[in-house]
Amino acid sequence: MTTSLTATTAGVSGTGGLIGRAAQPATRLIDSWFPCPEVDVAVGTPAGSGLSEKAMFTWFASRPIAQARAAVLCSLLPDTSENRADIKEAILTGNRAAITRLRTRISEQYGARPPVVLDMFSGRGIISLEASRAGASAIGTDLSPVATLAGRLLADYPLRDWSAEPPLPYSPGVDLDEDKEAVEASPAQSNRRNQRTSSQLGLKGLADEPRLLVDVRTVLLEVGRRVAERVATLYPGNPAHGGKTPWAYLWAVTIPCDGCGRRFPLISSMVLRHPYHRTRDEGQALELVFEGDEWRTKVCDGLPQQQPTFTSPTGKRGKSAHCPFPGCGHPHNLDVVKAKGYAEQYVDAMLAVAETDPDTNRKVFRIPRADEIAAAAHVDFSSQAPIAPGLSAIPNEEIPATAGVDARQYGFLTYGSLMNSRQAVLFATAARVIAELYRELSGVVSVEYAAALCSYAASNIARQLRRATRGSRKESRGKPDGSQQNRVYSGDIFTNQSTLTHAFDYIEPGPGAGPGTWGSVSSSLLAALRKVLYENRIEAAPARFRRASSVALPFRDATVDVLVTDPPYYDMIAYADSSDLSYVWFKRALHSAAPDLFDGSLDGKDGLQDKAEEIIVKGRGAKGQGDHRTQDFYEVMLARSFAEARRVLKANGHMTVIFGHSDPEAWKRLLAALTNAGFVVTSSWPSRTETAVTGVATISVTVSIGARVAPADRPIGIAAQVDAEVISQVKNRCRGWDSDGLALDDQLMASYGAALQVVGRYSKVITPDGSTVPLEHYMTLARRAVRDAVALRLDEMPLETFDPHTRLAIFWHEVHGRMDVPKGEARFFAQSDGLRLEDLRGPILIETKAGFRLRHDAPERLTSASSAYEVVRGIAASWSSGTEAAAACLSAAERPATDAHVWALVDWLATKLPSSDPTAVALAAVKRNRGSIQAAVAPGSTSTAAIQPSLFEETS
């Protein structure tokens, strides 16, 4: 799909609402300056990272506080030395005095009414929170009801004054029954922190905690108490520990063996707890004991003496199951294991029970008692009445085939099946209790306050789901040699940020106290809420959040002063698919408390979140086959969103877009959408804000892109002139990026915005024949400018003096090394030198499942047309056959013995590769024997070309 660099300004309406108001700045700081170094530093600190704000709710790829704050302030304020200084201070230290001064200037700049700041892809609400802190009227919209709730919990409810609400009808608590070794803080630590924080703020202690914090704690305690009472018969206490309920249970799925017919468990690790020599802890391991056709478990001290039953073969990918019964050992590959799931042959079995030793506070395991096994086995689903008309207690919504939920490929087809029967009843009970509490509270306190309190309680369900479903593995931290502390946790089901994993052996936290339990996750929620409440002691109006599609914003024309947004990152995260697990439970807990989000009216046809207008790319290739969320859909819908942004922005309004992706295709789609919607890029500012590994792309830098509505009187640009301007602009920016320590691949990403700053000065750019220059041309030109700005020199030989194939290989190696590169990125690499990917496949690149990889092995054949890079690979591969064989490579390529480019590349590549790499070892030897190799090359001889097939017959 080719997109031209054209833009229009038709359709912008309204006068900007300037009558009776102070004049807004025509240009903003974002156009000329951004605190990149300060953001880079601040995101590595607790305050600047936003870790506490992120801990409030389960959502994906949120902005660090430092970058969101910088983007908001730089988008609102004009460029003055005072603003720059205070913004630096606000980013680096969160200095309240600096923030107050900035708020005052914003108020003076915009007059009696605060400026309206909109985030149309609000996610968890980080940007809206910072807009509120800046004194703006903050609005957030998101297509996902789950994200909309997340925004309210972070930037709406904590900023309201609830002090006039009547007392709750429950016993207030200052404690939660939680585990001292959990990831979250212990009660004593929490109380000490409360008192310390209160003292720092001039308060008197726990009695002076914010009303919302006290009441959320009370409601969480009440939910935990009621749920524990109602499921008590399902979780028998341990008489040896005074009837205390164990904190967790270890389970495994069992399958029948295709060899002997006996059923056995799928276990990926026999370790229960690693040893720790410092405390003289021997550790614990699981053992299977066989008695006839049956098996049972045994818990032993020390290291495991048996192999797991479900593992990957040594040196190979893909797990397989092996029957552990003596005399059998029949293997079952992964396809067979999957088929058994769809044939409904899986049966859950309890392997061990996890408790906290009352004397040592150590996590210990034991075999389950008969009454514990019986209690778990006799869960009665028939007693689970619908929570509301048409709403089953346990989610029966089917998991879509393209949802990316790993469990589905094993036959777990509904969201309720992502946990065992007892777990499902536990969560259903929690959802029912929260719904009951809303009905009770709404008759005591205001309806809005009741909804807020129950929303926090429901969010705790989502937090617990992360550590209490089939994807939650037991995390035994430490090392087998006993050298590290050996704590045990309940693992997170989300890997690669948003993919829901599956495990055949999983841990089930119960209603007791320990990692992954209600009390444990409640503690971390309260810690996050406490921080947000204390940091907003400055007067900040609550942000407003609405569920809305970005292609149909519910606002009048020309009513928004500034739009700061973080649009979906192309194919990196499937936001709705990943949050549907939370959505189905929120419908059950909050159908009355938050009917605008969870009464079912926003459901898609499958009963899940409606994804018809979700702007992502869903699993490019086979993974997303049949899904409507394609690359073209992404670009078209994003352009419609930006057109809506242009409609609601005031005439002199500004937009800042924060984006990051390693694939140039994603950038092409984003920038094309922005341009086609009638915006021009005014600036681009890279920041090292995150390391997001999603299984699709890894990014460490995001770019804050300043944009404004394209002026109507822009001239037409001439291609040659604009090309020169782009090259000059990017090279100039590269000098600053180098001084900031920005990596080369990150400079490539940042260069696109820099190029579009130049192109945006023109209504269109034309070639001598009158055709319009496509967007890809300037992305390619920007990349080439970065490469040229780097000024790579090999043995004092400039990069541009090498042949095109070698030039590409050198730059590829400099940027990506031996990593696999997506096809789109590889294509842009080729285009930087006017090459085609098809011509590079084979001589320079090898195709992989993930894309393309730079070849370091022997070429198939050397000829006079071979690149210097192929010649060097040939020399390295043939070195094991001796000096003559290495010399034959130069002769076959008709290269002189002293070819400067070949020997410069030998030196360079030998230092770039790891010293243990076979190619590096061979090239080091070639360097030492350079004279002998050169002497062995017969001047003008090509007779050795005939031996090339035998030298290079082994290829990858």
pLDDT tens-digit series, residues 142-153 = 999 999 999 999
Q: pLDDT tens for residues 24-36?
A: 566 789 988 889 8
Contacts of 420 by beta carbon, 8 Å cutoff, 6+ apart: 251, 348, 376, 470, 508
Of the chain, the percentage scoring pLDDT greater than 90 comes to 57
C-alpha dist (Å) from residue 872 to 890, 950, 954: 9, 17, 16
Cβ neighbours of 443 (radius 10 Å):
10
- Looking at per-residue pLDDT, the higher value among 571 and 855 belongs to 855
Question: What pLDDT, on a 0 to 100 scale, did the predictor assign at position 2?
Answer: 40
> How many whole angstroms separate alpha carbon 871 and alpha carbon 864?
10
Query: What is the Cα Rg of the chain in Å?
Result: 31
- Is residue 422 predicted with pLDDT exceeding 50? yes
Contact criterion met (CB below 8 Å) for 299 and 283: no
Quick check: 195 pLDDT over 50?
A: no
Query: Domain map of the chain by residue range?
Result: 240-368+503-509, 791-951
Q: What is the DSSP letter of 281?
A: B
Q: Are 881 and 951 in contact (CB under 8 A)?
A: yes
Q: Name 204's Cβ contacts closer than 8 Å, sequence gap at least 6.
A: 198
pLDDT at 944 over 90: no
Predicted local confidence at residue 940, as pLDDT: 57
Average pLDDT of the chain? 85
This prediction has a pTM of: 0.83
Largest Cα span, the chain: 99
Cβ atoms of 580 and 604 closer than 8 Å:
no
What pLDDT was estimated at residue 497? 67
Q: What is the pLDDT of residue 55?
A: 82
pLDDT of residue 619: 67
| Lowest-pLDDT range of 190-199, 484-493, 778-787 | 190-199
pLDDT digits (tens, 9 = 90+) for 81-118: 999 999 999 999 888 899 999 999 999 999 889 999 99
For the stretch 660-682, what's the b/e string if a residue is b when 16 or more beta carbons lie within 10 angstroms of its beta carbon? Answer: bbbbbbbbbbbbbbbbbbbbbbb
Token pair 């590994």: residue: 693
Asked if residue 943 has pLDDT above 80, the reply is no
Nearest to 566 by CA among 194, 176, 126: 126
First-to-last alpha carbon distance for the chain, in angstroms, is 34
pLDDT greater than 80 at residue 3: no
- Name the more confident of 243 and 9: 243
In this predicted structure, what is the pLDDT of residue 700? 59
**Which H/E stretch holds residue 249?**
strand 248-256
Position 189 scores a pLDDT of 38
* Alpha-helical segments (H) within 765-912: 775-790, 804-816, 823-832, 837-840, 868-878, 883-892, 900-912
Report the C-alpha gap between 203 and 566 in whole angstroms: 37
The pLDDT, as a whole number, for residue 875 is 95
Closest CA to 422 of 367, 378, 470: 378
Which has the minimum average pLDDT: 252-256, 327-331, 378-382, 481-485?
378-382
What does the alpha-carbon distance between residue 446 and residue 608 come to, in Å, rounded to a whole number?
A: 30
Angle at 856 between CA 850 and CA 857, to 5 degrees: 105
The pLDDT tens digits for 52-79 are 888 888 888 767 889 999 999 999 999 9
Tell me the average pLDDT across 741-766. Answer: 83
pLDDT of 413 reads 95
Predicted local distance difference test score (pLDDT) of residue 711 = 87
Cα–Cα distance for residue pair 300/437, rounded to 1 Å: 45
DSSP designation for 158:
G
Size (the chain), residues: 956
- Residues contacting 223, CB < 8 A, separation 6+: 430, 433, 434, 437, 457, 460, 518
pLDDT of 41 over the 50 cut: yes
- How much is the pLDDT for 371? 95
Any idea of the CA torsion for 61, 67, 73, 74, to the nearest 10 degrees? -110
Could you identify the residue written with the tokens 């009808």?
A: 169
Is pLDDT of 342 > 90? yes
**Per-residue pLDDT for 598 more than 70?**
yes
**DSSP state for residue 351 in the 8-state scheme:** E
What is the three-state SS of 816-828? Answer: HCCCCECHHHHHH
